[in-house]
């Protein structure tokens, strides 16, 4: 998918599966074992066929000191 020129981030403006243009954007986060790292991403969902794509934003690490 083309990069958004304003932010440099990727985005889905047209569904590659059905061609629909009614696209919903959600923010997502996944945490690693014991919360030691976190992945942040955007999720683009086609409201017509429910096809979705994830676009990685960043990874953070959490110090689990004693």
Mind listing the pLDDT tens digit for each residue in 36-63? 889 999 999 999 999 999 999 999 987 7
**pLDDT at res. 10:** 58
pLDDT tens across 12-30, in order?
899 999 999 999 999 999 8
Residue with tokens 């960043």: 58
Whether 46 and 57 have beta carbons less than 8 Å apart is answered as: no
- Banded pLDDT at 34 (limits 50, 70, 90): confident
- Banded pLDDT at 66 (limits 50, 70, 90): low
CA dist., res. 48 & res. 19, Å (int): 9
Query: Which two three-digit tokens encode residue 61?
Result: 């690490």
Whether 11 and 21 have beta carbons less than 8 Å apart is answered as: no
Q: Considering its fold, how many domains does the chain have in total?
A: 1
**pLDDT at res. 62:** 79
Range of the domain at 10: 1-66
CA dist 34 → 12, 15, 28, 40 (Å): 32, 35, 18, 16
């Amino acid at each position: 998918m083309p990069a958004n020129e304003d932010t440099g981030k990727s985005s889905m403006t047209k569904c590659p599966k059905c061609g629909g243009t009614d696209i919903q954007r959600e923010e997502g986060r996944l945490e690693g074992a014991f919360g030691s790292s976190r992945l942040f991403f955007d999720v683009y969902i086609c409201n017509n066929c429910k096809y979705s794509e994830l676009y990685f934003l960043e990874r953070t690490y959490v110090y689990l000191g004693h």
